[in-house]
Structure formats: C-alpha cells, structure tokens
Structure 1
Amino acid sequence: MPSELASKLHPDCTPVAWMLGSWRGNGHGHYPTIEKFHHTEELVVSHDGRPFLSYVSRAWLIDDHAEKIRPAASESGFLRCRPGGEIEMVLAHSTGVVEVWSGRMDGRRLELVTDSVARTGSAKEYVGGRRHYELLDGDLVWSMDMAAVGEPIQPHLWTRLKPD
C-alpha cells in the first residue's frame, strides 16, 4: 500500500487494508432454486481516514465468452473496523435486502457471518450467510454461502478479482 494511503488510514483498518482499491474479475454461482451462472464483478473499496472502509460492488451475468448479458447483483456499504481485528459490515442490496455482518480477520482471511437481515416486502426470502475474503497471489478472492428461499446454508458465489 502506498505510504500516502497508509498515513491516512485509521489504525483499526490496518488488518483489512489489503482490500483497498479497485478490483475486477469473474466468478460463478449456483443455488438449488436457480440455474448455474457466470458473472463479472467490479468492486471498489476506499477510505477517508475514519474507522471504516466504503464498499461498492456491481456484477453482471456473462456468457461463455465473458460478454455481459445483463446486470446482476449490486451492493454497497461499509466495513466497520473495530479494535483487535473485529470487523462489522453493513450492506444494502438492490434486491431490497439489508444485512449486518460480523467477523474478524483470521490470518490473511476475513471471515464474516450475518448478524441480522432486513428485507422489503417484495424481496425474496433470505435468511443469512457467510462470506470469506482473502488476498491470494495478489488477487482478492471471495465467496459466499447463503440460506434462502427455504434452503439451508450452502455455497452460492465464488469470485476472483484482480487489481484494476
């Protein structure tokens, strides 16, 4: 991380500083109630010196040639950094779901589980999930397990993002 960024970073955010920046990449998803799919994603993680990171992600479904078919998920929120590597995450989704996550850094991996979920009347049933973020060979790799629409928690998304 450039020293200019580090000098402005709140000390509590140091454990997740590796997430800062713009990222792009592809991944795949599946769930018993939908067809398997491939997607591309743009993720921007930034900070302004306070004890949180801003988080904005947009994804598109892609075809076998990695061409965009249509918009998919979008989410925005904050990684709230607490002393001792504790992390809280607040996310709002275009699908009408708002989540509060809690977790901590485990070595070089950020592990989060949902603490609470709220949804609009038109949103699909979503109960909760687990997220895993890791810096792997310079790439940001993340996955999500999900419990929704009457299904138990199980793998849903996997994505590998490269620095943009």
Structure 2
Amino acid sequence: MVAFEEFTEPPIPADTADPNSGPPLHEACSPIGELVGIWRGRGEVDYPTINGPYRFGQQVTISHDGRPFLRHQAKAWLLDADGNVLRPAAWETGWWRPGANGRLELLLSHATGILEVFYGHVDQRRWEFTTDSVLPTDTAKQVSAARRSYALRDDDALDYAESREMVGEPMTPHVSAELRRVRA
C-alpha cells in the first residue's frame, strides 16, 4: 500500500474531456456522451435589470472519469465591442447525471452564490432543462427559476441558451452563445 504522502498525483484515474482517451465512457452516459469535450465561443448576455446587452466569451469543459456522470465546468469573460477581454465574468461547476427513461439531472454551483438543480431530457441532439430548485446564498441575486438548452448543430457546433426568472422579472431570455469544439 502507498502511504498518502508518497504520491504526487491523486492515485485515481484523471477525468478526460477527450472521448478517445482515458477510461471508457459509462454506458449510462450515452445520451450525453456527444457533449464530452472542450467548447469555446462567444455569446450575448442581457436582462431587463442590466445595462446590456454585453458580449462575452465562454469555455465549457465537459469531462468524465468512466463513472455514470459527466463533470461540467464553464468560465466566461466579458468582451468589448472589438472582442477584447474586459474582465472575468460567470463561473460555474457541476454534474450532468443521466437517469431512468431518458431523464437527466444537471446540478450547478455558481461563483455568484447560487446552487441549482435542473431536470431535463434529451431529444435527438438537444438537451432541455428546467430548474426544480434554486438555492441562493444571502449575498446572491434572487433567482426563482431558470431554463437551459444545449443543441449540437453538427459535431463541432454547440448552441447554448438560458432564460431566467430573477430579481422580480418574469422568465426572460438571458444568455445565448455559439460554442465550437476545440478539443475532442
């Protein structure tokens, strides 16, 4: 047995965003397996309570380690009119979890102090989610509900859209982006 202090890397397989390397994708993840990869692109964020719209860049990494879920990490940065980076923006991490009968769970934790549980389903190459519960911290914006969709247009283009019900506004489109696969 190796003592805890004797290894430099964790003694477990690393997760991978490359579906062609690492452990095999768990069979339960087949309805979401096409999402494994690193996706990067641009989009727009707007809402009635912000002085927008704003342009942003985003990278979404969806990886796995052979178990029956995918890991989700997304980072965004605001862009000026010329496409130059202004500052970091949204950051979220979570898990895509397949369930019975094509049902999906998406669990997300946002750096802004919001935890969300989404339920959804897959329809061909489109994944639709609606929040079941939203838990904001004391310092987070008041968010009541959200909807998300991800759609593969081809093997290398992922469209993402989100609507939110927050800060007293009804469900309103909030974010949309077109991401391209940068690593398979």
Normalised by the shorter chain, which TM-score bucket?
over 0.9
Q: Is the 8 A contact 1:12 1:84 kept in 2?
A: no
What residue in structure 1 maps to residue 36 of structure 2?
A: 20
In 1, Cα distance between the equivalents of 2:84 and 2:67?
A: 38
Query: Which residue of the partner structure matches residue 6 of structure 2?
Result: none
**Bigger fraction of residues in strand:** 1
Aligned-pair distance for 1:85?
Answer: 2.0
Q: Structure 1 or 2: larger helix share?
A: 1
TM-score normalised by structure 2 residue count: 0.85
Structure 2 CA distance, aligned partners of 1:106 and 1:132?
Answer: 11
Q: Within 2, Cα distance between the matches of 1:118 and 1:2? A: 33
The one-character-per-residue Cα deviations of 1:90-130 (angstroms, maximum 9, x if unpaired) are 10000000000000101210000001011110111011110
Instruction: Judge conservation of contact 1:51–1:82 (CA < 8 Å) in 2.
Output: no
Quick one: which amino acid aligns to residue 13 of structure 1? C
What is the TM-score when the length of structure 1 is the normalising length?
A: 0.95
Deviation at 1:3, TM superposition (A): 5.3
1:140 alignment partner, one of 138, 152, 158: 158
Aligned length: 163
What stretches of structure 2 of length at least 5 have no aligned partner? 1-17
2:80 aligned with 1:63, yes or no? Answer: yes
Identity of aligned residues (%): 40
SS in structure 2 opposite 1:84? helix
Q: CA RMSD in A?
A: 1.4
1:32 partner amino acid: P
Q: Deviation of residue 4 (structure 1)?
A: 4.8
Provide the rounded CA distance (Å) in 2 between the counterparts of 1:66 and 1:15.
35
Where does the alignment leave 5 or more consecutive residues of structure 1 unmatched? none
Residue 32, structure 1, aligned to residue 48, structure 2: yes
Secondary structure of the 1:31 match is coil
CA distance change for structure 1 residues 120 and 2 in 2, over 3 Å: closer, same or farther?
A: closer
Alignment correspondent of 2:172: 154
**Distance in 1 separating the partners of 2:20 and 2:92:** 29
Contact 1:12 1:83 in 2 (8 A): no
Question: Within 2, Cα distance between the matches of 1:42 and 1:4?
Answer: 20
After superposition, where does 1:75-154 map in structure 2 within 5 Å?
75-137=92-154, 138-154=156-172
Q: Secondary structure at the match of 1:142?
A: strand
Q: Deviations over 1:64-101 (max 9, x none)?
A: 11111011100000001123321101100000000000
Query: Per the alignment, in what secondary structure is the counterpart of residue 18 of structure 1?
Result: helix
**Cα drift, residue 49 of structure 1:** 0.9
Q: Find the structure with the greater CA-based Rg.
A: 2
SS in 2 for 1:34: coil
